[in-house]
């Protein structure tokens, strides 16, 4: 989605809050860096201003802030509940009117589930 992300994850190394914290820290640095270094990014000035303002409003932040501080975690306590959440994630771009079918959304794992030989942009670990 253009203004948020859904993630279905598990972790063997950390608790999920630590994993999410590290994910947000790593990706925010990479995204901000990509915006700054891209000389063809026409939205650079106003995006960096928004990220800078959000960073200044957060006492736990030194500079830019890309991700919001809050999350809406849901524990996937059973296979049926996990499938329900996966279907919700896959149907999100359909509900938003971006695509007609979940597997048409370029940034969705629905492509991996719908087409056996068609992979999305990220490698999916089926557990």
pLDDT single digits (tens) 50-98: 999 999 988 887 789 999 888 888 888 899 999 999 999 999 999 999 9
85 and 126 both lie in a single domain: yes
Residue 87 is predicted with a pLDDT of 94
63 and 118 both lie in a single domain: no
Residue 26 lies in a domain: yes
Spacing of C-alpha 69 from chain mean position: 14
19 and 57 both lie in a single domain: yes
pTM of the model: 0.76
37 and 21 both lie in a single domain: yes
Residue 47 is predicted with a pLDDT of 94
80 and 34 both lie in a single domain: no
User: What is the average per-residue pLDDT within 95-119?
Assistant: 87
Long-range contacts of 56-65 (CB under 8 A, 24+ apart): 64/28, 64/32, 65/28
Max CA pair span of the chain: 47
Q: What are the tokens at 41? A: 């990014």
56 and 113 both lie in a single domain: no
57 and 12 both lie in a single domain: yes
Which DSSP letter does residue 62 get?
Answer: S
Between CA 78 and CA 42 the distance in angstroms is 45
80 and 66 both lie in a single domain: no
14 and 68 both lie in a single domain: yes
13 and 40 both lie in a single domain: yes
Domain count for the chain = 2
Residue 126: domain span: 74-127
Residue 112 lies in a domain: yes
Residue 100 lies in a domain: yes
Residue 1 lies in a domain: no
Residue 67 is predicted with a pLDDT of 92
């Amino acid at each position: 989605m253009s203004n948020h992300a859904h993630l279905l994850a598990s972790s063997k190394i950390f608790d999920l809050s630590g994993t999410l914290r590290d994910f947000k820290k790593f990706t925010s640095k990479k995204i901000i860096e990509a915006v700054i270094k891209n000389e063809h990014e026409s939205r650079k000035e106003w995006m960096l201003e928004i990220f800078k303002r959000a960073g200044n409003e957060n006492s736990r932040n030194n500079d830019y802030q890309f991700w919001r501080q809050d999350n809406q975690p849901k524990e996937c306590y059973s296979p049926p509940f996990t499938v329900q959440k996966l279907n919700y994630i896959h149907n999100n771009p359909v509900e938003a009117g971006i695509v007609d079918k979940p597997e048409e959304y370029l940034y969705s794992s629905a492509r991996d589930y719908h087409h056996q030989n068609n992979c999305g942009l990220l490698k999916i670990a089926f557990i």
